[in-house]
Amino acid sequence: MKTITLDEPFKLSLGESSLPSELAANEALVKVHKVGICGTDLHAFAGLQNFFSYPRILGHELGVEVLEVGVEAANYDISIGDYAAVNPYFHDGECSACRQGKTNCCTHMKVIGVHEDGGMRERFIIPMSNLYKADLNLSQLAQVEMLAVGAHAVRRSRLEAGETVIVIGAGPIGLGTAAFARLKAKRIFMIDISPERLDFVEKLGLAEVIDGKEDVVAILKEELNGDMPTTVFDATGNAKSMVNAVNYISHGGQLVLVGHTKGDLVFNNPAIHSRELSIHCSRNATVEDFKTVVDALKSGEIDVEQWITHRATPEELVENFESWTKPETGVVKGLLEFV
């Protein structure tokens, strides 16, 4: 079966791989139809991804079809022919985080496509407990995990109705965060340094936009009559942006770091202490977040079809993937499609 492997930074290869001959009782064999490309994949390609080793089969945003099921399928309500999204997070269920219900940050977290081989292959085997069947199309299913990260960040913030919010970074995770934040926020601004991405956000009607190269503080104060936003989400994964984000927050407000970086973050203590800021990290997502996303997609509260700007076959992806890392290519959300 066709398999795409990231052999080392900047080197993707298309080859063949095989599967185990038997399914465990709790496993399913799935056919991969769609794979969402996200910042994790791009960072891994560039050698910048945390918790990562090479070689690795990428792919954790998946829209799949169930081909075979283990003998315990009835326990999971999974049947042959079902379409499903995949929860790519494997947790041990026993560590301190899991005992608190925080399975998203399990001490021994394993994520397919990061710590273990992922879904950039025509078929693979996965525990049925990690499948979420839903009456959605395959392109939507391939974006459920991405949206769940944003939904979790918003839930982590305990955002209250009527707040003014900033989301920094208009990539897919930032878009997903904004999509859920706007369901509660009074006003929502999105900051990016890419004019193309800001235009894209405006066309979606997702948020008011601010060019990050301008005087953001002055613009916010003018827009908000001297006030500043109470909640800021940084989805850039850029250390400079993450540290600078505290300048956009009101006294008593909060910063939620949705992206992460390999480097250190050094905050000016007077700047954060004088305002009694709260700084949160948000990692991955939980079952609750996946359910929230599926419900939002089914109800039409969130529509991600317009977010897909690029599609590629396995052959095209290997040839063109490096160009997808470049801003001038205009990729917002790319999909790998197995046909």
The answer on 273 and 159 residing in a single domain is yes
Residue 320 has pLDDT above 80, yes or no: yes
307 vs 160: CA distance, rounded Å: 27
Residue 132 lies in a domain: yes
The answer on 22 and 119 residing in a single domain is yes
Residues spanned by the domain of 249: 150-281
pLDDT in tens, 91-117: 999 999 999 999 999 999 999 999 999
Residue 328, pLDDT score: 84
Question: CB of 150 within 8 A of CB of 179?
Answer: yes
**Among residues 70, 61, 162, 174, which one has the least CA distance to residue 118?**
61
Average pLDDT of the chain? 94
278 vs 38: CA distance, rounded Å: 28
5 vs 59: CA distance, rounded Å: 10
The answer on 258 and 132 residing in a single domain is no
The CATH number assigned to the domain holding 197 equals 3.40.50.720
For 137, other C-beta atoms within 10 Å of its C-beta total 14
The answer on 206 and 191 residing in a single domain is yes
Percent of the chain with pLDDT over 70: 100
pLDDT in tens, 231-289: 999 999 999 999 999 999 999 999 999 998 888 999 999 999 999 999 999 999 999 99
The answer on 154 and 99 residing in a single domain is no
Q: How many domains does the chain have?
A: 2
The answer on 53 and 6 residing in a single domain is yes
Runs of H (alpha helix) within 121-167: 138-141, 144-157
The answer on 262 and 161 residing in a single domain is yes
Residue 19, pLDDT score: 86
Residue 286 lies in a domain: no
Helix-helix angle 172-181:195-204, to 10 degrees: 30
Residue 329 has pLDDT above 80, yes or no: yes
The answer on 169 and 131 residing in a single domain is no
The CATH number assigned to the domain holding 8 equals 3.90.180.10
Question: CB of 139 within 8 A of CB of 63?
Answer: yes
56 vs 89: CA distance, rounded Å: 16
The answer on 270 and 178 residing in a single domain is yes
Residue 287 lies in a domain: no
The answer on 93 and 73 residing in a single domain is yes
The answer on 187 and 90 residing in a single domain is no
Residue 39 has pLDDT above 90, yes or no: no
Is the alpha carbon torsion for 62, 67, 72, 74 positive or negative? positive
Residue 290 lies in a domain: no
47 vs 187: CA distance, rounded Å: 37
- For residue 269, the SS3 value is helix
Question: CB of 188 within 8 A of CB of 170?
Answer: no
Residue 221 lies in a domain: yes
pLDDT in tens, 124-156: 999 999 999 999 999 999 999 999 999 999 999
- For residue 86, the SS3 value is strand
130 vs 283: CA distance, rounded Å: 18
The answer on 198 and 268 residing in a single domain is yes
Residue 35 has pLDDT above 90, yes or no: yes
Residue 219, pLDDT score: 97
